[in-house]
Amino acid sequence: MFRIADILVILFFLVISIVLIFKPYGYEAKKILLVIEQDSFYIPYKEGEYNLYSKVKDLYGKEHPAYKSIDYTIKDNKLRVIHSDCANQVCVNTPAISKCGEAVICAPNKVAFIIDCQNILKGSK
Amino acid sequence: MKINIYILTGLMASISIILGVIENFIPSPVPAIRLGLSNVPILIMIYLAGANYALLLALLKAFIVPIFSANIVFKFSLSVPATLISFLFMYITYKLFKNSLSVVTISVIGAVAHMATQIVIVSIFYIKGLLYTNYTGILLLSAVITGVLMGIISYRIINHRQIGEMFARI
């Protein structure tokens, strides 16, 4: 079933995947990069339980009513989305994240929490 | 005898669509990871029936499976391009390297192409920062693993004597 060429091709894809998983995603202090549709914001990485809508409104004065229902918590240095009223509950079902480059992504609702340690927004400007 | 191959294509498309819908209900440790069961009939058709019928099956699967999901527009935007590009990669690899690569590797190439297309679409239209996360690597790794599993299943079916004879008769 397997020939040498097969093993080489599969190994090539495995190596690329593993490099992408374990490559360092920056060395700066952790920040939460919140992506909401066309907007991106930085939120401090501090312990506590927050409502996404209130947090963004407090920090930036911007209102995204669609995300009033999203609550997240940072406990023991781990971020987890604890409540969302969307249909799929992808973000709620994602395990807690804590390392640079990890993310909680809900693509259908265009929301993502990314732990950023490399100033993605600064780098993209 | 041409009518038979169309009946068989329809049957295979039905199997692919049913598997595509069922796998939405199979839980996975990371959201967005799918087994890719519906790719097995496409691979079988590429090997045993030819590109035209496999493409027909891929198109039917790409357009019908999203209808049975919760986010039709989102799933359409991922399913149609991902399935077509995955088919294209599998077919080109099959045509060029069928003597040196096995069905398992062609399945892996299809799975990786499918996942890579979805990652690119999501990072362009939905989540801009996706490429800056290790999620991309996790999804690609899952594609390699599921590609190997589905490739082994396809290999067993393609090399089954009675199935081979059935396609040969048509």
Q: Quick check: A41 contacting B, CB < 8 Å?
A: no
The number of residues making up chain A comes to 125
**Whole-number mean pLDDT of chain A?**
83
Burial class (CB in 10 A: 0-12, 13-18, 19+), B92: middle
Tell me what the mean pLDDT of segment B55-70 comes to: 90
Q: In whole angstroms, give the CA distance from residue A22 to residue A101.
A: 9
Residue bearing the bigger pLDDT, B114 or A1: B114
Query: pLDDT band at A118, cuts 50/70/90?
Result: confident
Domain range for B142 is 2-169
Q: Quick check: B137 contacting A, CB < 8 Å?
A: yes
**Which residue bears the tokens 């009946």?**
B7
C-beta of residue B91 within 8 angstroms of C-beta of residue B54: yes
Long-range CB contact pairs, B129-132, < 8 A, 24+: B129/A33, B129/A35, B129/A40, B129/A103, B129/A112, B129/A114, B129/A116, B129/A120, B130/A103, B130/A105, B130/A112, B132/A25, B132/A101, B132/A114, B132/A116, B132/A118, B132/A120
For residue B26, give the CATH number of its domain.
1.10.1760.20
CB contact under 8 A, A114 and B108: no
Q: Which residue of B has its CA nearest to A95?
A: B30
Domain A27-124: which CATH class?
Answer: mainly beta
pLDDT tens-digit map of A12-55? 999 999 999 888 887 778 888 888 776 788 888 888 888 887 87
The domain segmentation of chain A, as residue ranges, is 27-124
Query: pLDDT band at B47, cuts 50/70/90?
Result: very high
CB contact under 8 A, B129 and A3: no
Q: Which residue of B has its CA nearest to A22?
A: B134
CA distances in angstroms from B104 to B58, B118, B148, B163, listed in the order given = 18, 21, 6, 18
Q: Give the one of B108, B128, B129 whose C-beta lies nearest to A13's C-beta.
A: B108
C-beta of residue A79 within 8 angstroms of C-beta of residue A32: yes
Q: Which residue of B has its CA nearest to A36?
A: B127
DSSP state of B134: T
Q: Most confidently modeled of A76-80, B119-123, B132-136, B150-154?
A: B150-154
Q: What is the pLDDT of residue A123?
A: 55
- Domain count of the fold of chain B: 1
CA distances in angstroms from A18 to B1, B61, B118, B134, listed in the order given = 49, 31, 19, 9
Query: pLDDT band at B2, cuts 50/70/90?
Result: low
ipTM: 0.86
Q: In whole angstroms, give the CA distance from residue A53 to residue A73.
A: 13
Tell me what the mean pLDDT of segment A52-71 comes to: 76
Q: Quick check: B30 contacting A, CB < 8 Å?
A: yes
Q: At what angle do helices B161-169 and B135-158 cross, to 10 degrees?
A: 80
Query: pLDDT band at A125, cuts 50/70/90?
Result: very low
C-beta of residue B139 within 8 angstroms of C-beta of residue B116: no
Predicted model pTM:
0.85
